[in-house]
Chains A and B, each alone.
With several copies, the nearest count.
Chain A
Amino acid sequence: MKPLRRLLAARRLDELAPAQKFVVYAPLLAWTAIVLFPLYWVIVTSLKEPIDVADGPYYIPFVDFRPSLHAWKYIFFDLGRDTLRPYLNSVIVSSAATLVAVLIGAMAAYGLARMEYRPSVGSVLLFVAAIALAALMSFWGGVDWRLALLAGLAIFAIALRMLGRRFRRRLANHDILFWVISQRILPPVVTAIPIYLMFKELGLLDTHSALIITYATVNLPIVVWLMYDFFCAVPRELEESAQIDGASRLRIFFDVALALVRPGLVATSLLVLILCWNEYLLALFLSTVEAQTMPLLVAAQNATRGPQWWYMSVLIIIMILPVIALTLLLQRFITKGLLVGAIKG
């Protein structure tokens, strides 16, 4: 009886009983292995001569094959600049895009979580129609896009004045929310070309800004959604007391709201950062030389001679490293009980 208890029941809340330990650690370690093994394989592969990759699996350097740094040499010296440039680009683009997306997105999420929006269906449709018209004008009509946009907005304004009062049906926050996320449904295959054309019009092809804008936009929905839920979890009283203390909305947002969703914020930023860091197709189209990013380089390692496993491995490794560092840095912020002591009842 007693030894059994010892085995099954923990002695305190902050530790586990031996039996529980097993139940908990087994899956953790198992998944760790599942995660690490492929990466280990990548590392090993980066040290192999092509020949060693080609025939039969070799696992441990020095033991069953002679490691060589040829791949690393190739990536760092032979390619040299051609590795460095995309690398820097990736860093710049993804960090900038993440910043923008998270900032704007979090604000929207906050607005949707805390305030009520009731745009009328009619005016929304009107607006879309107007913009669509503008798009058509510039795309097929060959009108300069700025003019087209102005015209569209003008039409919208006028039409709204005329019809505005008529519209009865209204949308609510959750409609907006869903609309936002729905922007990710269309696969990039079909959007790539139009986006390419847009940036051609703007004359931004092959620039950082093109990629930054694009990434920020395509990731906005994710930010908005995740942050929305996290904001909803924050008790309103805290923001109310900030209001009483005389803080402006913006200030409340930064001083209180953001601080209290920190775990969510960090998680979201990391995700977005990584999504930007790894994006391929849009990068392919929006960049030619100057703005090329790392994923292109990785994909490029599969040419007429088949995948250059060793080079790919090196690239994969050097692509992971900074993200690891960053994650290590940020994960501290995903911590327990941020709200303890804030509210009574």
Chain B
Amino acid sequence: MKENAPRLLSKSVTLDGVGKSFGEVRVLRNLVLEAQPGEFLVLLGESGCGKTTALRIIAGLETASEGRVWIGEQDVTDRLPKERDVAMVFQSYALYPHKTVAQNIAYPLVVRRVPEAEVAARVKEVAQSVQLGQLLERYPRQLSGGQRQRVALARAIVRRPSVFLMDEPLSNLDAKLRGHMRAELKHMQYRLGVTTIYVTHDQVEAMTLAHRVALLDKGVLQQLDTPARIYSDPANLFVAGFIGSPPMNFLKGRLADGAFEAPGVRVPAADRSRQARVVMGVRPEDCTLADPAGGQLRGQVYSIELIGDHTLVTVLVGEQEVVVKAANTFEARMGDTVALRVNAGRVYFFDADSGARIR
């Protein structure tokens, strides 16, 4: 998709070796990251890993302790925020409490001396697209959480900046609205090809929106790749464990003569050098419940959880839990012994100590 996004005004964003510390707290470490012009880059990471900080540094609200920030061809490290021409959705909304919704949304345009008529039109349009059409005359204090968040979003997308920075812009919206907004955003971004850096905790969101996903852990970049690859080809244990819900199952064991072995587990793994301390990872949807006879893993049903369209079955293999995604027709009682087989092409091995992927 990225390829055919218009390039006219879109600029690349480059963090090169950016680090940030608050006092002795090191929040970002030597972060190297580039978003191509028109790219939709999603930042993922645990709570507190430095996503917001990264965005704020790009926006120029924080000054990086080290490293430089580029927008397009320009080194903006020492530029004021207003000179960087970015639009941002704050994680904490930061609405103007003394302005009505309409005024809040209009502000970026008003500041830029856009003719009133046009402002009015744009505001109306944007408000519609975030479904706030009715509330334009309200003040932030008269809005619900989600509505406030949408005002914040609207205020950002009312402009055509060269970069969008969005910090969990949909986190407080209901599934339906979120789906809708997601589509809207994707469409808009596609249409305008504005480089976008997007923070979210919702993996479906990440998967559906992102051209590429950047995964941070404790301020260190773990992997930067397309959603599909991130999902199907994780660089290390952390990435593997972080992406996907329910998360990937991990089994400690060892690689010996062409198979991965652990109590109650024997998964053929040809062409693998033998190694003592190994973690095998397999996703719930890549395991299937097999007849107790065959199967590479065997254990007892530990819990069963019906989630709408499917059932999550937790199986105790040795001391280790394995979650399996089964059809919501699945029937079994706790403690039943079951066997599992895994989709051999979809198992991953990691070094138990370094967490590095073993290929």
Question: A interface vs B, CB < 8 Å?
Answer: 9-14, 235, 237-238, 240-248, 251, 255-256, 259-260, 262, 337-345
B83 near A9 with CB under 8 A, answer yes
B267 part of interface (Cβ distance < 8 Å): no
Query: Can you name the residue of chain B whose Cβ is closest to the Cβ of A260?
Result: B98
B87 near A244 with CB under 8 A, answer yes
What is the 8 Å Cβ interface bit string for chain B, positions 87-99, against chain A (1 contact, 0 not)? 1101111111110
Interface residues on chain B, size class: 35 or more
Given contacts A240-B81, A242-B107, A243-B80, contact A344 B86 (CB under 8 A): no
B149 — which chain A residues lie within 8 A by C-beta? 344-345
From A11, A240, A241, A344, B78 is in contact (CB under 8 Å) with: A11
- What are 20 pairs between A and B in contact, CB < 8 Å? A9-B79, A12-B78, A13-B81, A238-B96, A240-B81, A241-B95, A242-B107, A243-B61, A243-B81, A247-B107, A255-B107, A259-B96, A259-B98, A338-B98, A340-B141, A341-B95, A341-B143, A342-B94, A344-B91, A344-B92
B95 near A12 with CB under 8 A, answer no
Given contacts A9-B83, A13-B61, contact A337 B141 (CB under 8 A): yes
Measured between alpha carbons, how far is A237 from B98 in the docked complex, in Å? 14
What is the 8 Å Cβ interface bit string for chain B, positions 105-147, against chain A (1 contact, 0 not)? 0011001100000000000000000000000000111110100
Candidate in B81, B83, B140 with the most chain A CB atoms within 10 angstroms: B81
A343 near B81 with CB under 8 A, answer no
B50 part of interface (Cβ distance < 8 Å): no
Knowing that A13-B81, A14-B63 are A-B contacts, what are 6 other residue pairs whose CB atoms are under 8 Å apart, sorted by A's residue number? A9-B83, A238-B94, A242-B107, A244-B81, A259-B98, A343-B93
In the assembled complex, the CB of B51 is this many whole angstroms from the nearest CB of chain A, namely 15
B140 — which chain A residues lie within 8 A by C-beta? 340-342, 345
B11 part of interface (Cβ distance < 8 Å): no
A240 — which chain B residues lie within 8 A by C-beta? 61, 81, 90, 94
Interface residues of B in 48-104 (CB under 8 A from A): 59-61, 63, 78-83, 85-88, 90-98
B145 near A344 with CB under 8 A, answer yes
Query: Can you name the residue of chain A whose Cβ is closest to the Cβ of B107?
Result: A245
B325 part of interface (Cβ distance < 8 Å): no
In the assembled complex, the CB of B289 is this many whole angstroms from the nearest CB of chain A, namely 43
From A241, A247, A251, B94 is in contact (CB under 8 Å) with: A241
Candidate in B90, B91, B112 with the most chain A CB atoms within 10 angstroms: B90
B148 part of interface (Cβ distance < 8 Å): yes
Measured between alpha carbons, how far is A237 from B139 in the docked complex, in Å? 16
A343 — which chain B residues lie within 8 A by C-beta? 92-94
A246 near B108 with CB under 8 A, answer yes
